[in-house]
C-alpha cells in the first residue's frame, strides 16, 4: 500500500517569503498552510457532486457517493423474490451478496461485474447489503483526518469535515522534520488502502497545491503592504 503524501517542501519558497514578510516562524506558517491544505483535500477528495469539487463536504456529495454504491450493486445483481409461490430461483442472501460485491471491487474500490449475466439476489437482503456498504461513503476523505488530528496540537484553527466523514476511523499521519528556514518540512499522509490507486487523486493534490500557492502569494502581498505602511507611518 502506497500512501498519498502532501509535502510543504513543494511550496517551501513561498512559505519562507511569508514567514519573512509577516515576522512569523516558518514552522507556524507551514503548519497553518498544512491545515488549510487538509481542509482543501477533504473537500475535494471524492465523493463530490458531479463537476463541483468545491462542494465535497455537502449532503449532495454524500448522495453522489451513495448513488455510486447503488449503481455498483445494480451492475452485479438482479433482485428477485425467491420465496414467491412457483418461483424456483436460487438467490444469494446477505453474506453471499457482500462476498460477491467485495470480490467484484478492483484495487481502486470500483465495482466491476465478473460474470456474463447478473446474479440473482434476494431482494430484501440486497437492500440490506446496499445500506451496509453506503456506510463506507467518505472513507477516502477521512484518510486525511489522521494527519489533521496530529496537527491540531501544533497550530490554532481546525480542519472541517462533515459527520459522514468523521464517522470513519481511517489511517493517516503527520510528521515534521528540521527547523527554521531551508530545513523545516511537514508531510501529511492518507493511508486508506486504495488511496494512492484512486483515479484522479494525484491531480486533486496538484490542484489543491495551486490553491495553497495562490493563497500564499496573496498573503505575502498583504504582509508586504503592511510592512510598507508601517515603515511610512514612522517616517
- ∠ CA 182-151-197, nearest 5°, is 85
Helix axes 59-76, 94-103, angle to 10 degrees: 100
Q: What is the model's pLDDT at position 18? A: 94
Residues 24 and 93 in one domain: no
Is residue 55 assigned to a domain? no
Higher pLDDT, 215 or 155: 215
Is residue 224 assigned to a domain? yes
Least-confidence region, from 6-15, 127-136, 211-220: 6-15
Is residue 42 assigned to a domain? yes
Question: What is d(CA 88, CA 124) in angstroms, rounded to the nearest whole number?
Answer: 17
Q: What is the model's pLDDT at position 2? A: 47
Q: What is the model's pLDDT at position 189? A: 92
Query: Is residue 111 pLDDT above 90, yes or no?
Result: no
Is residue 19 assigned to a domain? yes
Q: Over the stretch 61-102, which tens digit does the pLDDT of each residue have?
A: 999 999 999 999 999 999 988 665 555 567 899 999 999 998
As a whole number, mean pLDDT of residues 177-203 equals 83
Q: What is the model's pLDDT at position 83? A: 63
Q: Over the stretch 13-43, which tens digit does the pLDDT of each residue have?
A: 899 999 999 999 999 999 999 999 999 999 9
Domain boundary among 68, 99, 134: 134
Domain with 163 in it: 4-47+139-233
Is residue 53 assigned to a domain? no
Domain boundary among 119, 134, 149: 134
| pTM of the complete model | 0.85
Give the confidence band of 140 by pLDDT, cuts at 50, 70, 90: very high
Residues 73 and 118 in one domain: yes
Query: Is residue 1 pLDDT above 50, yes or no?
Result: no
Q: β-pairing, 77-80 with 119-122? A: parallel
C-alpha cell of 62?
454524500
Residues 118 and 105 in one domain: yes
Domain boundary among 75, 103, 134: 134
Is residue 54 assigned to a domain? no
Amino acid at each position: 500500500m502506497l500512501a498519498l503524501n502532501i509535502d510543504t517542501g513543494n511550496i517551501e519558497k513561498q512559505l519562507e517569503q511569508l514567514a519573512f514578510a509577516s515576522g512569523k516562524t516558518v514552522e507556524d506558517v507551514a503548519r497553518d498552510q498544512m491545515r488549510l491544505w487538509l481542509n482543501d483535500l477533504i473537500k475535494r477528495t471524492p465523493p463530490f457532486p458531479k463537476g463541483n469539487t468545491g462542494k465535497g463536504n455537502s449532503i449532495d456529495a454524500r448522495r453522489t457517493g451513495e448513488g455510486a454504491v447503488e449503481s455498483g450493486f445494480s451492475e452485479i445483481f438482479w433482485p428477485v423474490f425467491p420465496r414467491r409461490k412457483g418461483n424456483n430461483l436460487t438467490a444469494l442472501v446477505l453474506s453471499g451478496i457482500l462476498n460477491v460485491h467485495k470480490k467484484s471491487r478492483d484495487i481502486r474500490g470500483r465495482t466491476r461485474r465478473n460474470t456474463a449475466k447478473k446474479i440473482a439476489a434476494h431482494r430484501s437482503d440486497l437492500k440490506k447489503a446496499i445500506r451496509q456498504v453506503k456506510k463506507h461513503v467518505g472513507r477516502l476523505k477521512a484518510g486525511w483526518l489522521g494527519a489533521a488530528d496530529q496537527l491540531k496540537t501544533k497550530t490554532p484553527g481546525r480542519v472541517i469535515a462533515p459527520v459522514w466523514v468523521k464517522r470513519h476511523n481511517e489511517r493517516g499521519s503527520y510528521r515534521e522534520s528540521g527547523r527554521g528556514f531551508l530545513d523545516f518540512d511537514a508531510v501529511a499522509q492518507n493511508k486508506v488502502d486504495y488511496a494512492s490507486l484512486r483515479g484522479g487523486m494525484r491531480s486533486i493534490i496538484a490542484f489543491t497545491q495551486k490553491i495553497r500557492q495562490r493563497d500564499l502569494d496573496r498573503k505575502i502581498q498583504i504582509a508586504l503592504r503592511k510592512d510598507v505602511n508601517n515603515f511610512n507611518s514612522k517616517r
